[in-house]
Amino acid sequence: MSARHSATQVPWRSSLNLTEEQLGVLNSMYAASSSDQIEDDLYSAVNKLQQEEAISLLTTYGLNEASLEDVSCLWSVKWTKSNGIGEQEERRTLYQCDCGREHTQFGTKKRQTAYNYTGCLAHAEISTDARKQCSHECHPFLCIHRSIQLRYVNSTKAHLLQLYNAKNRDLFRTQGYPDQPSHAKLHTSQYRWIMKSQDTRALYRQYNRMIGVNTKKKPHININEWLDPASPHYNLTLAEAVFHYSPRAALNQRFEVCISTKEMKQMGWKHGHKSQIMLDGTFGICDSKLLLFILMAVDEKGKGVPLAFLLFSAPSGNKQTSSGYDTEILTKLLRQWRTDLESFKGKSFEVLVAITDTDLKELGALLAVFPHILLLICKFHIRQSWRNHRNKVLKGQSPALMHLKSWLKRLEDDLIQTTEFVKVKALLYKEREILTAMKEDSETTSLGERGLLHVEYLDGYWCNDSLWQSWSDFGHRLVSHHLKCSFDGFLPTTNHLESFNGLLKHKHLQRWQRGGCRLRVDMLLQLLVLKVLPSIFEQRHLEAMEDQRWAARIQTIPGGQQIIKAKAAADLMLPPIAYLVVDQQRDQAATALVQQQKISISTFYPEGLYFNSYSSLLTVHDKNPRVYQVRLGYKGMASCTCADFMNRGGACKHIRAALLQINLLRQAGHPIPLISLPCSESEARIHQLAAMDSTGPVPVPDDAPISKAAATVIDLLTEVPEVYAEPGFDEFASESRDSADDGVDDDTESAATDTEDEFDFTILKSSKEAVDAQSLAWFTHEAKTAGPKIGDLATILPDHEISMSTEQINDLIGFRENLALLLKIDRMLPSNGASKKPHVEAALREKKNISPSIPLTQRSHTVHHESGQTL
């Protein structure tokens, strides 16, 4: 076989980087039977002399081994082919001169090679005069040594790059890399030994390829290949963890992928079956418009455990990712999750209680999948909704406004603590009376009007009988009854899930991000299944083993049983204790109570004194003010019926005011014994335990799996209502600070609710009625604002037929479809409402002065296209 024939077998047309002009010239050369521009040489592999001639020829053109390794090499490999193994291996390589590659035709603005473009046609053994004109135009590029790349890829796992850069400098300084020359001979090295910023991209790509992520492909293609059993890139681990996958095959479809590993399924049956779960969504977890909804339960230690990840894309045309979902998609994915769990165990999976935020879409989806579920609204989110509306209607920071905010805040707390719907209406009626009196007072007219707006919002939006049961103590008692735990043994908030969302985005995923950029969705899927979730459950398993080992070790040492019993006793829910510590804010509030004469004269009893303290929010318009009872004992015991003391202990402002009142009475000459409180909680507990020994043991609360977590959440909510507030939620926070939420300057809670064992659940409404009530209340509330504006649009449109373009017609049809109100309202109205329709239309015509020539129900159909066709 001749060399000319061998060369023509090389796929140079597809492998070489050539312009159209270069390609035409080469085609002409190869088509010619003879050409003085083509040098054809064939050497024998067994003839030593011919091999020396071949090496000499290759050296002439810079194609020998040493020249190819040199930094000034101007050849690039474009095609290789190998045959045989070991000594029998034959390799064919196609080289192209770097001067012959025109970079702009490949979309590269900056030339990456060290040589300028001359139009050189040299490839393999072919050379032209143009190649001999090649010269360096810029500093040649030095490749980083392979040992540095391997150490990075295998050790750092593509994160903490800054730390590896420091390690790279240390290894270079100490000559810790293999094949690294000494500093005296470093100038002879053909490689770089210090990493630069441009190395990052290549190293990230190498790591991604090592873990099976081809970043040159689109993310959805990678995911489809991993989950397709017929694909050569099929990943069994990912496929087993993904219980639902639906690619986006059309513009009107969503991308859907749902994750539940074996450990998550086991936790779902252990902590979610016939128990309580949480559902909440987040976004901003990857570089695409994807939403992530997480299902979570709480284990026996009160820690949140994820049960499933529901990941799906926002619909086409969506502008705000956070609102790119509806009840339909959530219902579909929740039903897939339930089906997967039931197939895992082979029996029906049921959830008794679910808690979410105030989102109707989540509530509706849970109700569709679990028809008999009890739905609760997160106490934190409902307080947040109320606070936002309160700050909206009461903008400002004047003392009068801050006082009214505190007053309304106390109303909200009283509403949450209600267990009878009659009491809800009574509280609202009382507030209306007070605010109406303020409205009629010329000095407080504006305050009364604005306060009434908030009360009407609470009554009209949230205080429906069915909806009230989902956020009040009535619903909480019902849940504790279903879960067979104490009143404090369930979760009243979704704080566990909110915290997990933050950890997922800012801890687990952030360390895999490159320069803070969000992950690709294929990288996100692989990290969740192969890195994040295994690390979470491994940590749980190791902690459980450590706890068991330590508990067994404690029992073997002398006194170990007593230590365990003492720890159990410390976990008991002890009653609040009074002790006096320095608290400037409460001291100031106590002084104000005494100066305003809101603390009564003491009443004596055999063991101490009684005081009645009026609420600090007392106004002249309140006919039935709230009164708290304060008891001071001669032996250093004290108590108060306010929420501050009932939830925190210590010394509330009422107890401090009573102590100030005693000092004033003693200074006035009254023979009152000196009463002092303990100065620390530990000292007060000693007095309390002594008293408890004479009265009997403290009852042990039900140790339900989620009791400890619920108790912790309740304590935090009571102590600092704003503690979990995320920045940006309250759009009016910068305009008005809600001092009522500080928990010090006001009476935030009434006395503890009734804790009787027997409770009447006969008035229970279904969760579906609660969701329907919330939907209608939300619509009514928003329609009061949007309805008049939409109605005014009717006066803008003409009453006669007009010619419109296709674009205008599409805009009107789209607007009409977006409203979608008329059909839904007609479905909701009773059947006899049809007889009232003519009267309604007549009233609307009279009110808006609209011509009756076109019926209201037909106006959207009488328009003409430009072509004359009636629509």
pLDDT one-digit tens code per residue, 204-256: 777 777 777 888 888 899 999 999 999 998 999 999 999 999 998 888 889 99
Say whether pLDDT at 333 is over 90: yes
Whether residue 555 is contained in a domain is answered as: no
Split at pLDDT 50, 70, 90, the class of 726 is very low
The pLDDT assigned to 704 comes to 42
**Whole-angstrom Cα distance, residue 648 to residue 579?**
11
Question: Is there a single domain that holds both residue 370 and residue 383?
Answer: no
- Cα gap 700→571, rounded to integer Å: 9
Q: How far apart are CA 714 and CA 649, in angstroms?
A: 15
747 has pLDDT over 80: no
Which three-class secondary structure string do you get for 547-586? HHHHHHHHHHCCCHHHHHHHHHHHCCCCCCCCCCCCCHHH
> Hey, which residues does 610 pair with through a beta bridge?
603, 631
What mean pLDDT is reported for the chain? Answer: 75
Percent of the chain whose predicted confidence (pLDDT) is above 70 = 69
243, 325: one domain? yes
Which residues touch 582 (CB under 8 Å, ≥6 apart)?
Answer: none
- Contact 330/257 with Cβ under 8 angstroms? no
Q: What is d(CA 264, CA 297) in angstroms, rounded to the nearest whole number? A: 10
Other C-beta atoms closer than 10 Å to the C-beta of 682 total: 10
296 in the same domain as 256: yes
Cβ–Cβ under 8 Å, residues 327 and 364: yes
Q: How many Å from the N-terminal Cα to the C-terminal Cα in the chain?
A: 77
pLDDT digits (tens, 9 = 90+) for 15-62: 788 888 888 888 888 777 555 666 677 777 667 777 777 887 888 788
In a domain, 390, yes or no: yes
Average pLDDT rounded to a whole number, residues 468-487:
80
Report the C-alpha gap between 643 and 638 in whole angstroms: 14
In this structure, what token pair is assigned to residue 460?
Answer: 């009209």
**Residue 731 domain flag:** yes
Of 141, 171, 202, the position where a domain reaches its end is 141
Q: Are residues 383 and 478 in the same domain?
A: yes
Residue 101, pLDDT > 60, answer yes
Q: Does 353 lie in the same domain as 234?
A: yes
Going by pLDDT thresholds of 50, 70 and 90, the confidence category of residue 692 is low
Mean pLDDT for 292-298 is 93
Residue 262 pLDDT > 80, yes or no?
Answer: yes
The yes-or-no verdict on residue 820 having pLDDT over 80 is: no
- The DSSP bridge partners found for residue 640 are 630
pLDDT confidence bin for 708, thresholds 50/70/90: very low
pLDDT of 492: 84
Residue 871 forms part of a structural domain: no
Q: Mean per-residue pLDDT for 425-442?
A: 90
* DSSP track, 518-544: PBPHHHHHHHIIIIIHHHHHHHHHHHH
For residue 636, the 8-state DSSP code is S
414 and 523 both lie in a single domain: no
Exposure of 806 by Cβ count < 10 A (0-12 exposed, 13-18 middle, 19+ buried)? exposed
Give the pLDDT score at 742. Answer: 40
Domain boundary among 141, 167, 194: 141
**Cα 692 from Cα 682, distance rounded (Å):** 15
Residues 474 and 504 in one domain: no
pLDDT at 619: 72
Mean pLDDT of 561-589: 75
More confident residue, 846 or 78: 78
Structural domains of the chain, count: 6
Tell me: pLDDT of 417 over 80.
Answer: yes
> In the predicted model, is pLDDT for residue 826 greater than 80?
no
Lowest pLDDT segment from 89-98, 150-159, 348-357, 380-389 = 150-159
- Could you report the per-residue pLDDT of 104-133, keeping only the tens digit for each? 777 677 787 778 888 888 876 543 334 444
Q: What is the residue range of 254's domain? A: 219-378+497-537
Which three-class secondary structure state does DSSP give residue 108?
coil
pLDDT, position 132: 42
From residue 612, alpha-carbon distances to 467, 602, 641, 651, 741 in Å are 36, 8, 10, 16, 24
Whole-number pLDDT of residue 738? 40
Q: Tens of pLDDT along 577-604?
A: 888 888 888 999 899 888 888 887 767 7
Q: Which of 493, 460, 464, 425 is CA-nearest to residue 714? A: 493
- Rounded Cα gap, residues 246 and 524, in angstroms: 17
Contact between 525 and 531 (Cβ < 8 Å): no
Q: Count CB-CB contacts under 10 A for residue 608.
A: 19
CA dihedral of 15, 20, 23, 28, whole degrees rounded to 10: 160
Give the pLDDT of residue 466. Answer: 81
Same domain for 238 and 370? yes
756 by DSSP, 3-state: which? coil
Of 143-152, 235-244, 302-311, 491-500, the range with the lowest mean pLDDT is 143-152
618 or 710, which is more confident? 618
Burial (CB count <10 Å: 0-12, 13-18, 19+), residue 824: exposed
Residue predicted with more confidence, 656 or 720? 656
Considering only CA atoms, which of 332, 336, 338 is closest in space to residue 354?
A: 338
Amino acid at 604: F
User: Token pair for residue 64?
Assistant: 């020998």
* Domain annotation covers residue 484: yes
Distance, CA of 216 to CA of 219 (rounded, Å): 9
Our CA angle for 535, 540, 541, nearest 5°, is: 95
Determine the average pLDDT of the residues in 321-335: 85
Which band of pLDDT confidence, cut at 50, 70 and 90, is reported for residue 679? confident
- 530 lies in the same domain as 596: no
> Per residue, what are the HEC states of 328-371?
HHHHHHHHHHHHHHHHHHCCCCCCCEEEECCCHHHHHHHHHHCC
* pLDDT surpasses 90 at 480: no
Asked whether residue 781 is domain-assigned, the answer is no
Q: Which of 505, 537, 569 is the last residue of a domain?
A: 537
Q: Which residues pair with 376 in a beta bridge?
A: 355
Cα–Cα distance measured from residue 96 to residue 78, given in angstroms and rounded to the nearest whole number = 7
What is the rounded CA–CA span in Å between residue 772 and residue 768?
6
Q: What is the pLDDT of residue 767?
A: 62
Looking at the fold, whether 17 and 65 belong to one and the same domain comes out as yes
Per-residue pLDDT band for 757 (boundaries 50, 70, 90) equals very low
In-domain check, residue 547: no
- The more confident residue out of 484 and 216 is 216
644 in a structural domain: yes
Range in 75-84, 223-232, 267-276, 629-638 with the lowest mean pLDDT = 75-84
Q: Are residues 206 and 225 in the same domain?
A: no
**Contact yes or no for 427/621 (Cβ under 8 A):** no
Asked if residue 848 and residue 728 are part of one domain, the reply reads no
Q: Would the CA dihedral through 531, 537, 543, 548 be positive or negative?
A: negative
Residue 286 has pLDDT above 90, yes or no: no
> Which residues are within 8 A (CB) of 420 and not within 5 positions of it... i.e. 6 or more apart?
474
The distance between the two most distant Cα atoms of the chain, rounded to a whole number of Å, is: 132
